[in-house]
């Protein structure tokens, strides 16, 4: 071998060793993780949410990224009002300090709910009828044993007497991957929606009991990675109707019976990288669901649902949100209680809040541009001594939005639908106010393609 070649090889080896030493020097080993402020929450629940663990080696250039992701994960547990993560680094080691401020976990409140789909339907369609209120006690413990386990009990009277008891524990195994949720419920109704007509719910008013429902659920959950969530849900529901309802709508159960027993199986998968699950500004969400409903007597229905949402900061204080949803179901002819089209929860084209559009399949695309007008925390210690309420977070986001959707209905004659089987468009301007415990107040003015213009209002909260 030539002397020149030997020198070249030696030079390459020295360069490789030098680069390796530089790389090693840039890696810092986590020597200590210290947690404070968790008087109720167990430390292992907190450590489970971190993107790193004790004795891990992190690149010096990536430390801030790991810290920020871990902070977002802890915020999304909904166990803490504030999360601060600090660190000290030396030539070889890094010490991490996590300072937390816990929420108020036990909430027992009188609760008043509207029996309708939303405040807007009650305000515009039901003439603000106060007899359509459901009221009672809603008790929740969000961290019963310090393991992020939740116990909920609800006892309601009024328009829809209702009882519910449930318990959920995120982890039952040593590796903290497998969790469970179980619950039971019972409700009765006198006045009830017995069909959809002209894309609106049609109610039968009565002082006698028209419907009784009872059931139970059991859910097995798997979190095999920080952002991957799986769930298998088994459910049972028994519904009994008065003869009047089946006469008014023979398609309600599609059979000559007043009773229906439904056994359900649902598999959910969620990939969730949102910075805040209650009001995200950055990240993405993928959610899929496969469900099957077996009605005693031989009827089977299968639903497939998918959602993908992207939350993107555009520049300072300006954010873009886009969400696409699709649903497919089989068979074409479905029992009325199992039809789920557009108009419930957030599955709607904004501008069509007052409509319920039945159908077997749908597609929905929602887009929102929002501006962060204000984001600040106010210290209320002079007025409120409880630490869980002594800080008032307040954020205000003016926004503009545009949605399009389409729903396929194979039997529009059953609901005299005028809005199914056509492209729907709607948009408008709004204002979101986010405050204590991720309470989110929405006020917005919508316009749809039929020229209808209305002001709408909504509120959601964690407690």
pLDDT digits (tens, 9 = 90+) for 323-336: 999 999 999 999 99
Does 306 or 378 have the greater pLDDT score?
306
Instruction: State the pLDDT at residue 345.
Output: 83
Q: For the domain with range 106-460, which CATH number is right: 3.30.365.10, 2.60.40.10, 3.50.50.60, 2.40.160.50?
A: 2.40.160.50
The overall average pLDDT reported for the chain is 91
pLDDT at 121 over 50: yes
Distant-in-sequence, close-in-space partners of 343: CB < 8 Å, separation ≥ 6:
117, 352, 355, 356, 357
Strand-pair partners of 368: 321, 401
Render pLDDT for 3-26 as a digit per residue (tens, 0 to 9). Answer: 555 555 555 544 544 444 444 457
What pLDDT sits at residue 61? 87
pLDDT at residue number 5? 56
Q: What per-residue confidence (pLDDT) applies to 7?
A: 52
The residues facing 330 across adjacent strands are 302
Which CATH code is given to the segment(s) 3-102?
3.10.20.310
Query: Between 118 and 408, whose confidence is greater?
Result: 408
Query: Cα separations (Å) of 427 from 38, 119, 369?
Result: 44, 19, 11
pLDDT of residue 461: 63
pLDDT at residue 289 in the model? 98
Residue 312 has pLDDT above 50, yes or no: yes
State the average pLDDT over residues 27-52. 94
Tokens representing residue 64 in the block? 């801030």
Kindly list the domain boundaries of the chain, sorted by start residue. 3-102, 106-460
> What is the reported pTM?
0.84
């Amino acid at each position: 071998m030539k002397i020149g070649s030997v020198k070249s090889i030696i030079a390459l080896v020295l360069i490789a060793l030098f680069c390796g030493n530089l790389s090693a020097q840039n890696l810092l080993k986590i020597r200590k993780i210290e947690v404070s402020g968790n008087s109720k929450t167990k430390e292992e629940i907190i450590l489970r949410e971190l993107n790193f663990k004790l004795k891990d080696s992190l690149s010096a250039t990536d430390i801030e990224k790991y810290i920020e992701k871990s902070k977002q994960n802890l915020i999304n547990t909904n166990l803490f009002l504030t999360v601060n993560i600090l660190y000290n680094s030396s030539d070889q080691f890094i010490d991490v300090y996590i300072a937390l401020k816990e929420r108020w976990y036990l909430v027992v409140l009188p609760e008043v709910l509207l029996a309708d789909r939303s405040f807007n339907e009650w305000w515009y369609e039901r003439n603000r009828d106060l007899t359509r209120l459901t009221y009672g006690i809603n008790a929740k413990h969000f961290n019963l044993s310090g393991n992020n386990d939740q116990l909920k009990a609800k006892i309601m009277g009024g328009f829809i007497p209702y009882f519910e008891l449930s318990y959920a524990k995120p982890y039952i195994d040593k590796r903290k991957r497998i969790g469970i949720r179980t619950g039971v419920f019972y409700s009765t109704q006198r006045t009830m929606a017995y069909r959809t007509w002209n894309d609106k719910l049609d109610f039968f008013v009565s002082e006698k009991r028209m419907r009784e429902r009872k059931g139970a659920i059991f859910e097995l959950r798997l979190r095999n990675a920080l952002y991957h969530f799986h769930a298998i849900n088994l459910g049972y529901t028994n519904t009994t109707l008065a003869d009047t309802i089946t006469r008014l709508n023979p398609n309600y159960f599609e059979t000559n019976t007043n009773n229906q027993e439904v056994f359900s199986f649902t598999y959910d998968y969620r990939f969730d990288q949102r910075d805040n699950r209650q009001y995200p500004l950055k990240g993405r969400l993928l959610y899929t669901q496969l469900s099957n409903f077996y009605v005693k007597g031989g009827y089977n229905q299968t639903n497939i649902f998918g959602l993908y949402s992207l939350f993107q900061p555009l520049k300072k204080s300006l954010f873009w949100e886009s969400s696409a949803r699709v649903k497919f179901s089989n068979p074409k002819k479905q029992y009325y209680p199992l039809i789920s089209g557009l108009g419930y929860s957030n599955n709607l084209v904004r501008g069509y809040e007052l409509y319920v559009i039945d159908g077997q399949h749908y597609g929905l695309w929602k887009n929102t541009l929002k501006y962060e007008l204000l984001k600040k925390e106010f210290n209320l210690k002079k007025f409120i001594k409880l630490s869980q309420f002594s800080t008032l977070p307040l954020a205000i986001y003016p926004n503009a939005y545009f949605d399009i959707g389409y729903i396929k209905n194979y039997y529009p004659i059953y609901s005299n639908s005028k809005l199914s089987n056509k492209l729907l468009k709607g948009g408008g301007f709004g204002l979101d106010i986010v405050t204590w415990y991720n309470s989110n107040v929405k006020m917005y003015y919508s316009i749809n393609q039929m020229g209808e213009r209305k002001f709408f209002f909504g509120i959601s909260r964690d407690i």
